Chains A and B, each alone.
Chain A
């Protein structure tokens, strides 16, 4: 039985690792934190989800601060799609009340596997000279981003309704499981809506924080957010993510993703197994 100090150190260290690899691979630390807390430390999944959600707000906002300055974030796409994600988050948080804990574990494990798979497989960079989609044009969603040559590279996007629907799903998952759903968001942005990678990553990042905030209020009311538990998670993930961002330039992202994906895969299997046993 560990005391508060020991818990803080262990969880803080684990969260820092999660945040470090999460930011290096772009897979997010939140998804790693919940299995760590529930499987290794025997924490009730509700407390784990609460702590995870809070840490996601911290890392997303921290990273967004850097991205916005660089000019990669498309604010219009972000705000428009956030209508879908925030409403989805409310719906997901509402659903979480109706679903029993064991089922939550199974759903979490499944979503984790799918997210890891999505992040690992090869994505093709969207073509830049798409013909102008009518709705996207009316919504002023086309933009530019600073290319490596220092010139503003324009891009056009498409399939807005599909993107909107996917974001609703991403938001629901976020509200239900306390995760960032970054993988789904990025998928919707660059594969469906043809947003260039760098823009989709930073725009998704902004959206993750806003989405998490939508269900966080409800989580606090239900007592999912335990301050003693959430504190080392928040601080640990923040520090880890910060260090990860610094090291980013020297990292072999693909290799790390594969490694991270493998670990996450086994954690997911265990979560599903545990949930199944408890049903």
Chain B
């Protein structure tokens, strides 16, 4: 009798798991598509304005660029600077796996799996820390 009562729960679990996987897959697909479009748009603007300039990639001057902090990236992007838009797209790209982990937390919560809600949350914290501690 207990077994019979469990069956519907199992089916509900399987369906929501499938649903979660579907959401996950779509999130990833759309994430890549949208960020690629942004990067592409930025690159067209960039090449249109600066296509014939000659860059120097042999010397590292990373500390002097406006593209290494949130404020710089956003202001350049809003000014329709192609490079700013590209960097914004790349920033969003980094958010895709982070979002994916967040969706996992939700999936595990739906399955009432407290252990893995905690596990995924720890991963999320590390990811957010990396993003936040760097963009001061």
Contacts and interface: CB of A to CB of B under 8 A. Distances in A.
Contact of B62 (A41, A54, A58, A223): A223
A220 interface: yes
Contacts of B104: 75, 79
Contacts of A101: 60
B105 to A, nearest CB: 9
Interface in B106-130: 107, 113, 115-116, 119-120, 122-123, 126-127, 129-130
Given A210-B101, A225-B87, A227-B83, A217 B53 contact: no
A168 B64 CA distance: 32
B68 A223 contact: yes
A89 to B, nearest CB: 8
Contacts of A220: 67-68, 87, 90-91, 94, 134-135
Contact of A69 (B22, B51, B68, B100): B22
Contacts of B59: 44
B123 A86 contact: yes
B90 A42 contact: no
Interface stretch (A3-11, A116-124, A258-266): A3-11
A7 B55 contact: yes
Interface residues of A, number: 66
B134 A218 contact: yes
Contacts of A7: 55, 57
A54 B130 contact: no
Contacts, number: 205
Interface in B58-103: 58-65, 67-69, 83-84, 86-87, 90-91, 93-98, 100-101
Given A65-B28, A68-B25, A4 B50 contact: yes
A42 B58 contact: yes
A68 B51 contact: no
Contact of B107 (A2, A75, A206): A75
Nearest to A210: B97
A121 B15 CA distance: 40
Nearest to B26: A65
A68 B26 CA distance: 10
Contacts of B69: 221
A8 B47 contact: yes
Contacts of B68: 220-223, 225
A209 interface: yes
Contact of B90 (A44, A221, A234): A234
A146 B133 CA distance: 41
B36 A235 contact: yes
A71 interface: yes
A206 to B, nearest CB: 8
A20 interface: no
Contact of B67 (A69, A218, A223, A235): A223
A244 to B, nearest CB: 15
A61 B28 CA distance: 6
B130 A215 contact: yes
A10 to B, nearest CB: 12
Given A64-B100, A213-B98, A224-B62, 8 more contacts: A2-B54, A44-B59, A62-B28, A140-B116, A210-B97, A217-B94, A217-B131, A227-B46
Interface of A: 1-5, 7-8, 37, 41-44, 46-47, 54, 57-58, 60-62, 64-66, 68-69, 71, 75-76, 79-80, 82-83, 86-87, 89-90, 93, 101, 139-140, 206, 209-210, 212-218, 220-232, 234-235, 238
